[in-house]
Amino acid sequence: MKKFLVFTGNRAEFGLISPIIEEMDKDKKIQYKLIVSGAHLNKKFGDTKQEIKKLGYKSFLTANIKISDKYKTYTALSISKGIEKISRLLTKYNPDALVVYADRFEGFAAVIAGSQMNIPTIHIEGGDITEGGALDDSVRHAMTKLSHFHFTTNAEASKRIIAMGEEKWRVKTIGFPAVDLIKNKNYATPKELIKKFNLNLKDKIIIFTQHSITTEYKNTYNQLKASIDALEQIAKKNIKVIITYPNNDIGSDIIIKFLKKKKYVNNKNLLINKSLGRYYYHGLLALNKNINFHVCCAGNSSSGIKETPIFGCPTVNIGSRQQGRLRAKNVIDVDYNSNSIFKALKKALFNKNFINKCYNCYNPYGIGNSGIKMIKFLKEVKYTKSKILRKKMTLTKNFLNKARL
């Protein structure tokens, strides 16, 4: 495999897949092109294709999928439109393999297109569990069954994929790619952050992102209001709260409209951003290791679970969206109740015993070098394209006997 197409559909996932791209850059025998799609091309969500350009990726393919977050039919329609547009790009470029990350509907469209066109499809971050009402689990597992190689962030995820009937030689645990970025310290310096966010020494900072839940989108307003009420209350203690826009799931328009209210926009301690990007996001988390600051993460984003342990940063995980996900001991789980959220934020910001526990917590998502591990694995694959495409179900007789009705 020498010629790859790498699909990216939103800001968070691009940051996570970038260590893989960097390793491809280093290998002179590998050619690749990006397919930039989804929220990257939408100004409402920050037009993050500009961030990709700033990182030096001047030439990439685009698959502009019209997205609406107002009606649930649009997600299904966006998937169908995505399949059509991505299929045309696959036909034109004819790659040896397609690389897709995680569990978003844009990526689902890419995996369907690749698998149906007999293009070996590589899926990163399969096998995870999030049982909290988002459609992520269903999409992620469907992507696994359609893909031909599986690179997971943890050993438990690899076991689940094998338990789903995937052949062992197709599965490799590489750890969480974001750890590669963090280890390289390619993020904003304290000086840059002080200037950009008007920070003061000794500031306590909350980074907040809350997404809608696709199966509960009618409750989005009340769920967000509980969080914002708690944040407003704690901001009165001279806490800086840095808020970012949600992803483009159904219900996100409710969140964005809420955050645009004057009383939030004009609150000097509530700093609202469409997108931080990995550079500033990791830089802010890294301030937690600086004696002049203390940082905590809050909301319901997976990054609050997976990326904070390496910085020893506390996380207040709100609601059910990340239910079932593997986590370290730096996470406080709370329901959509403003009083409970406020108490959890106080603990994350002021409880010295808990803060010390977070500093030294074990990170279950690996120690880095994910990109190196993945590229090494792919270069050593000796199987023919025909064998790669012909998948077998490998459930054992013992498993099948137990599963009899």
Query: Residue holding tokens 């685009």?
Result: 62
3 state DSSP class of 122: strand
pLDDT at residue number 222: 96
CATH superfamily of 3-175+369-402: Glycogen Phosphorylase B; (3.40.50.2000)
* Average pLDDT for 379-395: 90
User: Any long-range contacts for 137-146 (C-beta under 8 Å, 24+ apart)?
Assistant: 137/103, 139/103, 139/104, 139/105, 139/108, 140/102, 140/103, 142/108, 143/100, 143/103, 143/107, 143/108, 143/111, 146/111, 146/112, 146/115, 146/121
What one-character-per-residue DSSP string does 334-364 give? E-S-HHHHHHHHHHHHH-HHHHHHHHT---T
At residue 134, the pLDDT reads 65
User: Do 203 and 333 meet the contact criterion of CB atoms below 8 Å apart?
Assistant: no
- The values of phi and psi at residue 163, to 5°, are -65, -25
Instruction: Say whether pLDDT at 329 is over 90.
Output: yes
How much is the pLDDT for 229? Answer: 96
Residue 397, pLDDT score = 61
Higher pLDDT residue, 265 or 318? Answer: 318
Tell me the C-alpha distance between 31 and 96, whole Å. Answer: 10
Q: Which residues of 169-180 are buried (b: 16+ CB within 10 A; e: fewer)?
A: ebbbbbbbbbbb
Average pLDDT value for residue range 322-341: 95
Q: In the chain, pLDDT over 70 holds for what percent of residues? A: 95
Dist CA 209 CA 332 (whole Å): 15
How high is the pLDDT of residue 74?
77
Task: Read off the tokens for 38.
Answer: 């989804």
pTM of the model: 0.82
pLDDT band at 68 (very low <50, low <70, confident <90, very high): low
Q: Report the chain's C-alpha Rg in angstroms.
A: 21
Which pLDDT belongs to residue 403?
62
Taking 80 as the threshold, does the pLDDT of residue 1 lie above it? Answer: no
Q: Which tens digits make up the pLDDT trace of 188-209?
A: 999 999 999 999 888 999 999 9
Q: Break the chain into its structural domains and give their ranges.
A: 3-175+369-402, 186-359
Q: What is the DSSP string of 246-315?
A: --SSTTHHHHHHHHTSHHHHT-TTEEEES--HHHHHHHHHHGGGSTT-EEEEEES-THHHHTSGGGT--E
Confidence band, pLDDT 50/70/90 cuts, at residue 226: very high
Could you report the per-residue pLDDT of 115-169, keeping only the tens digit for each?
999 999 999 999 998 876 667 888 999 999 999 999 999 999 999 999 999 999 9
For 145-210, give the DSSP string: HH-SEEEESSHHHHHHHHHTT--GGGEEE---THHHHHHTT-S--HHHHHHHHT--TT-EEEEEE-
The pair of structure tokens assigned to 94 is 């004819």
pLDDT of residue 225: 96
Q: pLDDT per residue over 373-382, tens digit each? A: 999 999 888 8
Residues 249, 55: Cα–Cα separation, whole Å? 26
pLDDT tens per residue, range 350-378: 999 999 999 989 999 888 899 999 999 99
**179 close to 150: Cβ distance less than 8 angstroms:** no
Whether residue 69 contacts residue 248, with contact meaning beta carbons closer than 8 Å, is answered with yes
Task: Specify which residues 101 forms β-bridges with.
Answer: 124
**Average pLDDT, stretch 28-34?**
93
Average pLDDT for the chain: 90
Residue 70 has a pLDDT of 58
Structure tokens at 73: 């039919």
Q: Does CATH number 3.40.50.300 belong to domain 186-359?
A: no
Q: Residue 270 in contact with residue 238, Cβ under 8 Å?
A: no
Which is more confident, 262 or 82? 82
As to burial, measured by CB atoms within 10 angstroms (0-12 exposed, 13-18 middle, 19+ buried), residue 325 is middle
pLDDT at position 55, please? 80
Q: What value does the mean pLDDT take over residues 85-92?
A: 96
Per-residue CA distances from 2 to 27, 101, 233, 396 (Å): 10, 19, 54, 34
Predicted pLDDT at 223: 97
Q: Binning pLDDT at 50, 70 and 90, where does residue 61 land?
A: very high
